[in-house]
Every structure is written in structure tokens, then in C-alpha cells.
Structure 1
Amino acid sequence: MSAAKIRKGDKVVVLSGRDKGKTGEVISSMPKESKVIVAGVNVATRHRKPSQVNPQGGLERREAPLHVSKVAIADPKTGKPTRVRFETRGDKKVRVAAKSGELING
């Protein structure tokens, strides 16, 4: 079991940048690069030339990676950003929202 504070499937809030305040779900996590990709956040547009695969060409929009420090877990109780704490409950190490003490599923 990894001890990552932010994992795939987590609901997060963007703390800074162009998309500040937006919320979304983590699509993928890249722990080695300290980056995450969040659905609907930090969308980059690329102009594509027509090709055999895409004869029309046009605009391609996709989410670009964000640094982990720019996002925070959304508190399961309030939806506001919170830090993550690890606790031992029973014999399991679990993630807990620092503000409310709620268990973060996953």
C-alpha cells in the first residue's frame, strides 16, 4: 500500500493558478514527477493538422498535468480544501482529513 496523500480517484480542489477554486477528480497520478491530472482542470488546446487518422484536423483539448502542491484534497464533510493526515485505525493505516477528522476513502 502506497502512502501517497493524493491518489487516483480523489476529489481535489485547485489552490492556485488559472483554475483556482475548481474541483475535480484525479484521473492519474505521477508520483515520480510529483504531478497529477485532474478532470476538467488545466485543459490545454493543441491545433492538429489533418492526418490519415484524423482527416478533419482541428483542435485537440486535453488535461495537462498539475503539480501536486497546487491541489488539495476536498474535505468529505464540507468540500473545502484540507490537508491529509495518516492514522492507524485498528491495524490499518488510513488517510484522514486534517480539518474534520473524516476518513478519506480509497
Structure 2
Amino acid sequence: MATAKIKKGDRVIVLSGKDKGKTGEVTMALPKDGKVVVAGVNVAVRHVKPSQGDPQGGLKRAEAPLHVSKVAHVTADGKPTRVRFETQDGKKVRVAVKTGDKIDG
């Protein structure tokens, strides 16, 4: 399986859909499904009836996964960029295509 270009902790921007243009941090990566969960983006609302486990009930909000093709890594100036892999000092590192900056510390 290929190495993931978007990982947990990355700052990303949404490229398409109802949340187009929103930015956030990846809170969870699901590489087997090809999806990522971004904080504050693609928020799903569920109406929950009161129960013993949750006596309050009400509206419950949670971030739903987005397909990884709908997000792009964000550069320091806030613009989207693609990610490529390079070998530096014998290690495989992620590099921003637009700026050439190393993403991995």
C-alpha cells in the first residue's frame, strides 16, 4: 500500500463540496477507506431521543469523514498545494509541490 500524503495533524483546505474553502486540522486519517476527518468541517447533526445512557438527548454534532481527494495540504501562506515524496539523506519525506518546503519535520 502507498504511503499517505495526508496525515493526522496536517493543516488542510477543502477543495469541493458544501464546505469548500474551509481549513482545519486532520484529527483522524482512515487510509484503508481513503478518508480523513477534519476538525470543524463536514459536521453531521443527529437528533437523539433521551435515553438512560443520554438523559438529555437533543442535537448531537460530529465531524464526518471526507474523501482524501477533496482536501489539499495548506502552505504557510494559506494556499492549497499537492504533496510529493522525495528522498533526502536516505529518508522518504513529504514535500509541498508549490513551495518545495519539507512537510515532515
When the two structures are superposed, what TM-score results if normalisation uses the length of structure 1?
0.94
Cα deviation, 1:57-99, whole Å, max 9, x if unaligned, reads 1000000000001000011x32211000111111111000000
Partner of 1:91: 90
Deviation for aligned residue 1:54: 1.2
Deviates most, 77-86 or 14-23: 77-86
1:1-106 map, 5 Å: 3-75=3-75, 77-105=76-104
Q: Which runs of 4+ in 1 moved over 3 A?
A: none
CA distance in 2, matches of 1:4, 1:55: 41
Cα RMSD (Å): 1.1
Cα deviation, 1:32-51, whole Å, max 9, x if unaligned, reads 11111000000000000001
Tell me the matched-pair count.
104
- Sequence identity of aligned pairs in percent? 69
CA distance in 2, matches of 1:78, 1:56: 43
Deviation for aligned residue 1:20: 0.4
Please give the secondary structure, in 2, of the residue aligned with 1:99. Answer: coil
Deviation for aligned residue 1:105: 2.5
Unaligned runs of 5+ in 2: none
When the two structures are superposed, what TM-score results if normalisation uses the length of structure 2?
0.94
Cα deviation, 1:1-45, whole Å, max 9, x if unaligned, reads x72100111100000011100000101111111111000000000
Unaligned runs of 5+ in 1: none
